[in-house]
Amino acid sequence: MVLVPIRAFAANALGEARDGGAVPALVASMNDPDRHVCWAACISLAYIGTPEAVEALEKAAKSSDQQLRERAAFSLRRMEDIQNQWELWE
């Protein structure tokens, strides 16, 4: 059984809220040692989609940490799909 830390659920909630004020906390969470938290932070930044969020993902996509680089790059590729998805719900 995989135990996902509450920090990952919190990162998801911040992304779903689409609050640009959450970007600094999510950027910090991208460096969390737990892979679930890092993944949730990257995806949540894509959900928020502000210029600051995009900049953070672009920077992470150039990281020396391979897992962070892959998660950030995936999130950047998915950003357009995610933003379109939100438009359908609005």
Tokens 């939100």, residue? 86
pTM score, whole prediction: 0.87
pLDDT confidence tier of residue 82, bands split at 50, 70 and 90: confident
Is residue 80 over pLDDT 90?
A: no
Q: What is the mean pLDDT of residues 35-64?
A: 95
Q: Which residue stretches of the chain are H helix?
A: 6-17, 23-29, 35-48, 51-60, 66-89
Write the burial class of residue 87 (CB in 10 Å: 0-12 exposed, 13-18 middle, 19+ buried).
exposed
- pLDDT score for 22: 97
Provide the mean pLDDT of the chain.
91
- Locate the domains of the chain by residue range: 6-89
pLDDT tens digits, 14-32? 999 999 999 999 999 999 9
pLDDT at 87 over 70: no
What's the CATH number of domain 6-89, 1.25.10.10, 3.60.15.10, 3.30.9.10, 1.10.287.610?
1.25.10.10
